[in-house]
Amino acid sequence: MNKILLPLFAAATLLVGCVHNSTESALEVGSNQVELRQIQSRAFDTTDKSKTMRTVISTLQDLGFVIDKADLELGTVTATKLDGYALRMSVSVRPRNAKQLVIRANAQYQEQAVTDPAPYQAFFTSLSKGMFLAAQNVD
Amino acid sequence: MRKLLWTALAAVVLAGCQGGIPDEALALQPDSLERRQLESRRFAGGKEADILAACSGVVQDMGFTIDESETKLGVMVASKNREASSAGSRFAVALLVGGNAANSMDKSQKIRICIVVKPVPGKEGQEWVVRSTFQRMVWNSYGQLNRLEGLSDPELHKQFFEKLSKSVFLEAQKI
């Protein structure tokens, strides 16, 4: 009996560890803010904001996203992909210096922030193909 | 038996705290180009805003309401809520299999369409590519989300563009 109860009790205890005050989510910041920004950002050698945003939009469409919102002035695009899961992503385009734009993307998968570098790397690889420009890391 | 339980415990804990994003979610797939061609059509003449206006006419014809638009980027988003299965078919299932089965059936759905107009490179101001993408969310009678999916049926896009061709013509003639 104990052999069954013990693992169940252990599972329950560990899962309770996952519980936290849910309102804290509103102000949560990933483990390392600077690192997260680097993972989510790339610089491109162009200053054409409008063309860059149109490329971001068509790349998102190529990836199966449906656009939710787009704002040229603010430089933001938000889109959602539904494929048995919900993946929502915001992409912002801002001038970095006189010759470059910086593109930052952040994604949430189901109800979690995506903090793993690999999906962002895949996104910027897809975007580079559309931009005909290399994505450069941002320090 | 004990080993199995501990393995199950590990699985439960891992599933409880996280579930990862699929590797292919943000990578271009071999069928990306094919899908783009299926979802896109080229239109000549008019201004970008005229094409977008024609698009808004078509989505209104199809019963969608406009959610968002940004003319400067050629983007328009619209949606509609509709029944996913008729009340009659749910009643029939309830009679044959029981109420639980009927309630688990698709009941309502929200369909979203996004239209993006883009100038054809090298022919800015003369030719445009219009790309439409659809997706839907489906709920059952319990209000649970049953399905999340993109709609890529070629017939859907074909019909949309047939309607748009007429609408662009009507816009051009200002009817």
Res. A18: pLDDT tops 80? no
Cα–chain center distance at B30:
20
Rounded to whole angstroms, what are the CA distances from A10 to A4, A6, B70?
Answer: 10, 6, 53
Res. B167: pLDDT tops 70? yes
pLDDT band with cut points at 50, 70 and 90 for residue A53:
very high
ipTM for this model? 0.80
pTM above 0.90, yes or no: no
pLDDT in tens, B8-54: 555 555 454 456 899 889 999 999 999 999 999 999 888 899 899 99
pLDDT in tens, B101-125: 777 788 899 999 999 999 998 888 8
CA of A121 vs chain B CAs: smallest distance (Å): 9
Q: Which residue has the higher pLDDT, A11 or A116?
A: A116
Measure the N-to-C terminal CA separation of chain B; round to a whole number of Å. Answer: 76
| Chain A residue with the nearest C-alpha to that of B124 | A51
pLDDT number for residue A15: 63
* Residues A92 and A76: beta-carbon distance below 8 Å: yes
* Residues A137 and A124: beta-carbon distance below 8 Å: no
Residue B149 to residue A82, Cβ atoms within 8 A: yes
- Identify any residues that bridge with B40 across adjacent strands, giving them in sequence order: B131
Average pLDDT over chain B, rounded to whole? 85
For range A50-59, the mean pLDDT: 96
Residue B28 to residue A62, Cβ atoms within 8 A: yes
CA of A98 vs chain B CAs: smallest distance (Å): 23
